[in-house]
Amino acid sequence: MHIGNFKETYDADEAVFRTPTVRWWMGALFVALAIFPFAADDYLLYMANLTGIAIVGALGLNILTGFAGQISLGHAAFVGVGAYTSAILTTRLGMPFLLCLPLSGLMAAALGVIVGAPSMRMKGLYLCIATLAAQMIFMFVFIHWESLTGGIRGINVPPPTIFGLKADTEFKYYFVTLPVVILAVAATRNIFRTRVGRAFIAIRDRDISAELMGINLFRYKLYAFAISSFMAGVAGCLWVNFIKIVTPEHFPLHESIRYLAMIIVGGLGSVLGTIFGAIFMTLVPEILKNILSIFQAMNPTAMSYLFPLQSVVFGAMIVGFLVLEPHGLAEIWRRMKDFFRLWPFEY
């Protein structure tokens, strides 16, 4: 419990950053995020960009699956739609990046609404498998609609130019990714301060009584699909302009599962958890890979045994969190905060 935390207006009570302490920490975080690129090397900046892109994509999935309760096994496909849309608009029409970004999102959202439309009649596991089918069908289109997508060779994209500046290094791209991440986090927080977000959670908790409370289930499920795939599309656009090539192998079922793993590990239905989960699931496999490559240098033949360890660890992280801490990193963070808030006067 906060002590001596009184609000004088409802406005103050509903604010996102409610206490001076929280505002102070948030300020410190923003300063750190601004200083980081000047202190970090290219590799760290590369990882930071990947993490940022993962946060945007995972936020979208958490809105749909964690908050609104609609399981999707096809999230990577929508990231792919965004990436291809951006690549095609850039290379064919020469469209500027700042226009590609929202258009990639809109294209993915439009397809997301089409995939989400059956959610009115299907529930739970049936919907889950319908999204699996969508993942398969999108992949097939990415590979085989060669005149549009370039088939398995994909499309090469030039580095984006924003306000005359070319974002062609990890350092410069950091300043593209960061604002998008901040906007995505703010937008998600905002949704859950209004009736739209409450309706999402109500549909997840009890869809029948949500409908009796006046919520149009079909409309709000489509909203959830639209928002979710919009963010996926934006993440895809960020991705392709960062990596500078898009091929189908970037968006397999395994990538959809990786996004699900982020929100499971971070915490279903938690914005902060999404951020933690995206960071964790981007960095841990990378760290593991680096450790394994050290072993490889020592003993090259051991690699055939060590390499598969990555899928074991990936699976073990998912299962481990689900069994030991189902509410994810967000819950661990909350407990840590509670501990330090009263520390050293716990009793």
Q: Any contact of residue 336 with another protein (CB under 8 A)?
A: no
Nearest distance from residue 298's CB to another protein, in Å?
18
Which residue lies nearer to another protein by CB, 101 or 317? 317
| CA–CA separation, 224 and 214 (whole Å) | 17
Under rule CB under 8 A, residue 102 binds another protein: no
Segment 202 to 221, residues that bind another protein, using CB under 8 A = 202, 204-206, 208-217
State yes or no: residue 144 binds another protein (CB under 8 A).
yes
Considering only residues 242-271, where is the footprint of another protein by CB under 8 A? 253, 257, 260-261, 264, 268-269
Torsion of CA 300, 305, 309, 311, to 10 degrees: 110
DSSP-derived letter for residue 160 is P
Residues in binding contact with another protein, number by CB under 8 A: 77
**Which has the closest alpha carbon to 178: 312, 279, 30, 43?**
30
The one among 58, 77, 111, 134 contacting another protein by CB under 8 A: 134
Residue 245 sits at φ, ψ, to 5 deg, of -150, 145
Is 136 a residue that touches another protein (CB under 8 A)?
yes
Cis peptide before 20 (omega within 30 of 0): no
196 binds another protein (CB under 8 A): yes
Of the candidates 180, 177, 173, 178, the one whose C-alpha atom is nearest the C-alpha of residue 159 is 173
Q: Does 199 bind another protein (CB under 8 A)?
A: yes
- When asked if residue 3 is in the footprint of another protein (CB under 8 A), the reply is no
Per CB under 8 A, which of residues 33..92 are in contact with another protein?
Answer: 65, 69, 71
Q: Return the residue matching tokens 């919520």.
A: 215
Cβ distance 160 to 180 under 8 Å? Answer: no
Beta carbons of 217 and 211 less than 8 angstroms apart: yes
| Contacts of another protein in 10-29 (CB under 8 A) | 10-11, 13-14
